[in-house]
A and B are shown apart, each in its own frame.
Chain A
Amino acid sequence: MKRALIVHRAGPGLSVQDDGRPGYLGFGLSRGGAVDRLALVEGAALLGQGESLAALEMAGMGGEFEATCDVRIALTGAPMRASLGGVRLAWNASHLLPAGARLLIGGVEAGSYGYLHLGGGIDLPRILGARSAHLASGLGRFVAAGSQLPVGEESRAALTGVCLAVAPRLDGGEIRVVPSLQTDFFAPSERLRFEATLFRRDARGSRMGVRLIADGPGFHSDAGLSVLSEVVVPGDIQITGDGTPFVLLAECQTTGGYPRLASVLPCDLPRVVQAPAGAALRFRFVTLEEAVAAERQAEAHRKGLPAALRPMVRNLHDMRDLLSYQLISGVTAGDDIERNAT
């Protein structure tokens, strides 16, 4: 039978994502791809496969899934209440999804975006070199109930039942930024006030960007609103006309007229992406040298993930009694997903 994932129920924010489409900036198409790039790499490590394979990104809520053949899966990013045949599944881990079994993934328990990875990847045809949906430009669309997503072949029998210890990035916190091309449009006093402000992530947000809210007046540049449209990159903190900051994400516009106060380090962007509505965020300027050092460290961390895999104590077949253990922080045993499933 053709390898596929059947989507019986779908949360409102499911989309197929890979590492995006670099190379089309000059044509007005931003790179897009998974908003939490680290989660994509973690999933690839858990399944021992390439980082460019596509996974299912789940904003806030998962769905109900079934595979047509035995398929390996991994779960990363924001932990969600996931179960298979009534057994709670550990997050940041790989599992076997047997043909015909129902995989239930509920709402997030922390963070914002969860990821379901499949052995062999989601094998949609590539458009402009990638499989990811770029929703803002009408390239691909949300995955709806009733869809069947083709799953790539796997060349060899491969491992399941491994897990990763993942450093927390789901609750906001301190975000490092660098000065960027328009930072000096803002007076030093505005920049200091920005650093001193405790922001909360607004409930409004999308793959294009997240809005930050704070007490006190908005932020204003000296350049006014006559600024020439200039290059925009993910991580840019854009200040709109009313002084509200937005952190721009993977699917942002490629150029824009609103001034940018700073730019978030790519390695800190997953922390912004995953901060749930209401989570506290603070920003701290670092130098370019510090930023490059941090990116180097993040790259080493990503490269080290395959070596950091650990076997789960037991495999799926005898996990029931394991459910009384706390495998990783924040994931508890229980049948709560079954009781609450609709």
Chain B
Amino acid sequence: MTSVVPTSALSDGAAGWPRIRTVGVDGMLVSFGDRLGEPANRAALAFRAALDRAALVGALETSTSLVSTYVRFDALRVGHAAMRTALLSLLAARDWYGAPLPEGRRLWRIPTVYGGDLAPQLAEAAQAAGMTSEVAIASLSQSRVRVQTIGFAPGQPYLGELDPAWDIPRQKALSDRVPEGALVVAIRQLVLFSVTTPTGWRHVGQTAFRLFRPEADTPFVLRPGDEVLFEAVPPEQMARMRTDPDGGARAERLE
């Protein structure tokens, strides 16, 4: 794919980024890299916000993945060439890799039971990361991680970035059913599940936090840019956490 972006917009270094690709018949994807990185993640979030503000003719919906911004558009009214030109023009407007994080970010403290019957793969994951279970709990519960994107299932965050020791692969075989509220780990990232699902990630913690509340005023609780501490609590607290609408979690605004 050709990309005609001024070099000033490419401060992240790698040649060829950002890159625009088509998605199906009516979508375009602006990618800021091919691996997860903090500047590329911030660029994707900031570019999406700018796209929404710009309200390009024909644009119908936007979203982000880890390092990309997606736009669905009315391809019958606005041609692909015109949409590409509009995106390139917006890309040239600034250095997106240097963009600030979204505004209104919050720090969430979400109580989490690590290991035991509620999260049976902690020991296995710790071993893969070269730690004892105790060290693994300390490491995970004290890592302040950031919501890099919401995706796969409603309200579900991808969080990072963990210490390099947590660069552990996904399992080869899928776990059949990991429950809603499960905290899972792989490739220096955590995911907190919003639905019960099969997964290749290892189940290291269990929360009582509901990420998707379709009946509530705020159906999707976490937002990209929010930070989270998964604080360790003893398993006896789970019953009480489950009676709390926020699963015992508390939030404060970040400046």
| A295 adjacent to B25 (CB under 8 Å) | yes
Binary contact track A119-155/B, C-beta < 8 Å → 1, others 0: 0000000011000000011110000000000000000
Given contacts A27-B220, A137-B194, 8 further A-B contacts (CB under 8 A): A22-B60, A25-B63, A27-B150, A137-B195, A231-B27, A256-B152, A263-B25, A288-B22
- The CA of A41 and the CA of B208, in the complex, are separated in Å by 41
Query: Any chain A CB within 8 A of the CB of B65?
Result: yes
- The CA of A228 and the CA of B215, in the complex, are separated in Å by 32
| B76 adjacent to A299 (CB under 8 Å) | yes
Known: A26-B48, A139-B214, A253-B153. A229 touches B66 (CB 8 A): yes
Known: A27-B150, A128-B214, A139-B214. A231 touches B61 (CB 8 A): no
Query: Any chain A CB within 8 A of the CB of B107?
Result: no
Query: Any chain A CB within 8 A of the CB of B156?
Result: yes
- The CA of A25 and the CA of B35, in the complex, are separated in Å by 21
Name the B residues within 8 Å of A128 (CB-CB). Answer: 214, 219
Known: A29-B154, A291-B25. A231 touches B76 (CB 8 A): no
Taking CB as reference atom, which chain B residue is nearest A26? B63
Q: Distance in Å from the Cβ of A293 to the closest Cβ of chain B?
A: 10
| A181 adjacent to B22 (CB under 8 Å) | yes
- The CA of A136 and the CA of B25, in the complex, are separated in Å by 25
| A127 adjacent to B153 (CB under 8 Å) | no
Query: Any chain A CB within 8 A of the CB of B140?
Result: no
Show 25 A/B contacts (Cβ-Cβ < 8 Å), sorted by A: A24-B154, A25-B72, A26-B48, A28-B220, A29-B155, A136-B195, A139-B154, A180-B23, A228-B36, A228-B66, A231-B65, A231-B70, A233-B27, A235-B24, A253-B152, A255-B151, A255-B152, A256-B152, A263-B24, A263-B25, A265-B25, A266-B24, A288-B25, A292-B25, A292-B76
Query: Any chain A CB within 8 A of the CB of B75?
Result: yes
Query: Any chain B CB within 8 A of the CB of A178?
Result: yes
Contact residues, B122-172 vs A (CB, 8 A): 149-156, 158, 170
Name the A residues within 8 Å of B194 (CB-CB). Answer: 28, 137
Name the A residues within 8 Å of B27 (CB-CB). Answer: 231, 233
| B155 adjacent to A28 (CB under 8 Å) | yes
| A28 adjacent to B24 (CB under 8 Å) | no
Query: Any chain A CB within 8 A of the CB of B109?
Result: no
Taking CB as reference atom, which chain B residue is nearest A294? B25
Contact of B152 among A23, A180, A228, A254 (CB under 8 A): A254
| B25 adjacent to A230 (CB under 8 Å) | no
Known: A288-B80, A291-B25. A127 touches B214 (CB 8 A): yes
Query: Any chain A CB within 8 A of the CB of B21?
Result: yes
Query: Any chain B CB within 8 A of the CB of A36?
Result: no
Name the A residues within 8 Å of B64 (CB-CB). Answer: 26
Contact residues, B16-34 vs A (CB, 8 A): 21-27, 29, 34
| A254 adjacent to B22 (CB under 8 Å) | no
Chain B positions near chain A (C-beta within 8 angstroms)? 21-27, 29, 34-36, 48, 60-68, 70, 72, 75-76, 79-80, 149-156, 158, 170, 194-195, 212, 214-215, 219-220
Known: A228-B66, A292-B25. A28 touches B61 (CB 8 A): no
Binary contact track A283-325/B, C-beta < 8 Å → 1, others 0: 0000010011001100100000000000000000000000000
Binary contact track A255-284/B, C-beta < 8 Å → 1, others 0: 110000001011000000000000000000
> Inter-chain contact count A-B, CB under 8 Å?
126
- The CA of A256 and the CA of B158, in the complex, are separated in Å by 12
| A137 adjacent to B154 (CB under 8 Å) | yes
| B75 adjacent to A292 (CB under 8 Å) | yes
Taking CB as reference atom, which chain A residue is nearest B80? A288
Name the A residues within 8 Å of B67 (CB-CB). Answer: 228
- The CA of A228 and the CA of B64, in the complex, are separated in Å by 13
Q: Distance in Å from the Cβ of A318 to the closest Cβ of chain B?
A: 44
| A181 adjacent to B76 (CB under 8 Å) | no
| A28 adjacent to B153 (CB under 8 Å) | yes
| A266 adjacent to B25 (CB under 8 Å) | yes
| A-B CB proximity, top 5 nearest | A255-B151, A26-B63, A263-B24, A25-B63, A29-B154
Q: Distance in Å from the Cβ of B122 to the closest Cβ of chain A?
A: 23
Name the A residues within 8 Å of B150 (CB-CB). Answer: 26-28
| B62 adjacent to A26 (CB under 8 Å) | yes
Taking CB as reference atom, which chain A residue is nearest B223? A27
Contact of B153 among A136, A229, A295 (CB under 8 A): A136
| A27 adjacent to B155 (CB under 8 Å) | yes
